[in-house]
Amino acid sequence: MPITTTVITGATSGIGKETALALAKKDHAIYMLVRDTQKAEEIRQEIISITKNKNIYIVPCNLADMESVCNAANTLMHSVTAINVLINNAGGIFADRLESKDGYEMTFAVNHLSHFLLFNKLLPLLQKGQARIINVSSEAHRIGKPDFNDLQWTKRPYSAWKAYGMAKLFNIYFTRAVATRFGPKGISAFALHPGLVNTGFGTGLTGMGKVLMWLLRPFMISAETGARTTIYLATASRIDSKSGGYFKNRHVASTSATDENGRNMLWDLSMEMIAPFLTA
């Protein structure tokens, strides 16, 4: 039986690590796109030790640096013949407005634009592998209210939670756009809410954001539990008819990401932003 080739961002901790471990147990070849290669090597050895699956690989990739994303994509283009599963798992929330190496607001860059670029760079491999694209979103998308004239938060006061909510909304917009545009070419796409997971998420927050995370901690679930929906979407059979769906607890859920015009506008603006990198 052919090996399933899976690419995942953010696999060195939390639900990303648990996802990589679970899929390695199912004999997937795992390509971990990571910023910290030393930590990734420790995780790689741990996964191999547990699963006896030696097809675990590390690809350097800093999602705050579009050149690094391009380099990672180029490495994959020369390493594999097809990709069957792409899991856009990495993300983050930032207390203050920061900019990526390329001058994009960090929440937007790390949670959306870098993964958008990765998808487009890998598109030939994804089409060849009839891939599933899995985007880890959040219920925080419900507070996302995008201003397409100010995606970089330069014209209005920056809010960590509002910026994060907007980025998670964009994860679902992206999912639905991929399902619509590339479904006829054999690519399916799914978004999910992993649950309120007890990881290092939000550790850099201050003020009320920090207090909120502290208050929520008793209600948080483990990373292993939080990874279940991602694992389900990566392995379940006969779910292509649900492509474009937003999932919670392994079931399709309602979402506020229903603005088709917003979805198309995001796609067009994102394409403009990544255009200089597509030939890199």
> Which residues are identified as catalytic?
164
CA proximity to 110, closest of 133, 94, 125, 127: 94
Distance CA 1, CA 233 (A): 20
H-type helices in the chain, by residue range? 14-25, 37-51, 66-79, 106-108, 114-121, 123-128, 160-182, 207-216, 223-226, 228-235, 260-274
Distance CA 13, CA 60 (A): 15
- Sheet of strand 246-248: strand arrangement: 56-60, 29-34, 5-9, 85-88, 132-136, 188-193, 246-248, 251-252
Give the distance, in angstroms, between the CA of residue 81 and the centroid of all CA atoms in the same chain: 22
Q: Specify whether the CB–CB gap between 87 and 9 falls below 8 A.
A: yes
Residue 186 DSSP symbol:
T
b (16+ CB within 10 A) / e for 100-128: bebebbbbbbbbbbbbbbbbbbbbebbee
Who contacts 15 (Cβ-Cβ below 8 Å, separation ≥6)?
A: 89, 136, 194, 197, 199, 223, 226, 227, 230
